[in-house]
Structure 1
Amino acid sequence: MIELKAGAARLGLLPELGGAVAFWESGAICVFDAVSDPNLLAQKGHKVAAYPLVPFSNRVADGHFRFDGAEYRMKPNFGGEPHVIHGNAWEHPWALELLSDDSATLQLEWHPPHDRPMEEWPFAYRAQIRFDLREDSLDVWMAIHNIDQRPQPVGLGFHPYFPRRAGVKLGFSADTVWTNDERHLPALRVPATGAWSFERMRAVADEAIDNCYAGWDGAAFLRWPDDGLALTLSASPALRHLVLFTPPDKPFIALEPVSNMNDALNHAGVTDRGTAILAPGERLEGHIHFALTAC
């Protein structure tokens, strides 16, 4: 594990475990919640508090998509589902590129195996993620570079888990939200109003939400009144989708700034689906800022 420090703040990193974050602590308070999910097969039961989503966020239905006249079918990587989930960068060791007391840059270079070119992501890419820790904030910079000789469709995102401590409240603004079908894939796009709305900050009770919001304005707010702590999340324009996951039987929620809608590779007709088509040598990048304040 690599540990960054800035005053009373500490950030643990696990490059060998998919570039994951082990913890983010502010004094005695855990800002990110370490979670073990046995369905994320490559994590092998280890607890992680956040991890990068490269080269796409969420699901690709049955691991199958078509692009540029070719058909691709990837091997499922999530227990109990036929889909491929969250790309493949979280399944592989990252290399440490740069390190200081309060900053670290990790890198992953992916090349499809010649004998299994479509078992995982079928294009070559280089991904980078940089963590800059301050006593009252964390910056996460991400980029994916197309190092293949062909264009490729990509996305990226970041998957932090936050503690679902008593009284936690959430607020953000988005235009629409995708409902899910029985296979956890996008079904209908509806206005983010009524029960779907977090325009007015409200408590995260026992709701079971696992949906992608579109037309997100790039800001979200979390409050833990019992801890006297507030967090403001802001994301760069490339990350204009927000996945909210609130399993009622778990002690955490996930709030994921991402570039693409769920199953974006199979929704070419959605103009703002968020998939970037990178020519060889091009890159997509995004930035997330987490700021802590007292409340």
Structure 2
Amino acid sequence: MGEQSFGGVHWIEQHAQRLAVMPGAGGGVVAWQWVRGGEPVDLWRAWDGRTPRMQALASYPLLPWSNRISGGGFEHAGRFHALAPNTPDDPYPIHGDGWLQPWQLTRSSEDGVQMQLRSAGFGGSPYHYEASQSFTLVDGGMVQSLSVTNRGEHPLPFGLAQHPWFTRTPACRLSARVGGVWLARPDKIPTGYTADFPEGWNLGQGARVDRLVIDNGFGGWDGAALIEWPERDLALRMHSTLTLPDGSQARPDCLLYAPAEPPVFCFEPISHPIDAAHLPGQPGWTEVAPGRSMALVVEWRFSSSPADWSAATA
């Protein structure tokens, strides 16, 4: 899985921005661009228009959980729920199943789009849910939201995340106030949490992304981040918030993925750490009762570089 028959790109243009979504390809985003001086500037790494893999898109939603789950599944309320691997190149099920199903475009206007998905036990999954995502272009940025409602008969733990891709340049810097990092085995499953950061990993001090090879989750995040590309005269700020089933708000965790090749990286707001179902205390692994919902909202703002780091929390 992960490969689909791509097609049906839908574009909107407003506030000196261009956004393209592809509902039939996992509700993914093809491109998000700032039209600066009459020329489009990619804020997320754009799809190349050829590669039929979700991982080649600019961004895609992760639900009803994110990242990897080990052990062949998870136990909840005394019952084991099996989950099978869902990609050919990973031994664990990864990123849920919303990204592997076609969504429906339910609303489109000059400044926004909305997509919805109704999923019922996809691929043998225990999850029955309804999901919605929206993108609203505003002056100087975008508001991105993702929500899920449990449509099953029993409470289950859910999770949400976004998976935007960015271009990695030699001077690119990521800043995010985090409290610690989940160290991991070679297969990416966490082994423990520490506030003693490996060299170059303390995002609060600003990380030179081009110098890292990493695929790790971070905790204690305040939800704000700043990405700067000095060579491109570009900065992108983000702020993420979770709304839990009881209506309260919480701060998500985050994940940084920077492979050795190609020159790209992901910085993902995530509602729970990798393999939360099997971590002590199951951090962020949120039970959602039938008919109840949770949501993740990410506010994005772009500007020319350099940007004020303190503005990322504004």
TM value normalised by structure 1? 0.91
Residue identity in the other structure for 2:131: A
1:19-34 aligned at under 5 Å gives the runs: 19-27=27-35, 28-34=40-46
The CA distance in 2 between the partners of 1:259 and 1:45, in whole Å, is 21
Which region of structure 1 is more displaced relative to structure 2, 236-245 or 91-100?
A: 236-245
The CA distance in 2 between the partners of 1:188 and 1:198, in whole Å, is 18
Change (3 A) 1:120 1:5: farther
Give CA deviations for 1:207-232 in whole Å, capped at 9, x if unaligned. 11100001111001001111111111
Note the C-alpha offset of 1:248: 2.2
The CA distance in 1 between the partners of 2:44 and 2:108, in whole Å, is 21
User: Structure 1: which 5+ residue stretches go unaligned?
Assistant: 114-118
Correspondence for 1:210 among 208, 211, 215: 215
The CA distance in 2 between the partners of 1:283 and 1:101, in whole Å, is 28
The CA distance in 2 between the partners of 1:130 and 1:120, in whole Å, is 27
Whether 1:98 aligns to 2:110 is no
Residue identity in the other structure for 1:234: H
Give 3-state SS (helix, strand or coil) of 1:199's partner. helix
The CA distance in 2 between the partners of 1:233 and 1:45, in whole Å, is 23
Tell me which residue corresponds to 1:256: 268
Whether 1:2 aligns to 2:10 is yes
The CA distance in 1 between the partners of 2:15 and 2:260, in whole Å, is 35
Q: CA RMSD in A?
A: 2.0
Change (3 A) 1:173 1:46: closer
Give CA deviations for 1:215-255 in whole Å, capped at 9, x if unaligned. 11100100111111111110014452101001122221100
Residue identity in the other structure for 2:239: S
Give CA deviations for 1:29-54 in whole Å, capped at 9, x if unaligned. 11100368xxx9xx547731000000
1:172-211 aligned at under 5 Å gives the runs: 172-191=176-195, 193=197, 195=199, 196-211=201-216
User: Structure 2: which 5+ residue stretches go unaligned?
Assistant: 1-8, 243-249, 306-314
Residue identity in the other structure for 1:180: A
Tell me which residue corresponds to 1:164: 168
Change (3 A) 1:60 1:46: closer
Identity of aligned residues (%): 29
The CA distance in 2 between the partners of 1:249 and 1:35, in whole Å, is 17
How many residues align? The count is 284
Tell me which residue corresponds to 2:120: 111
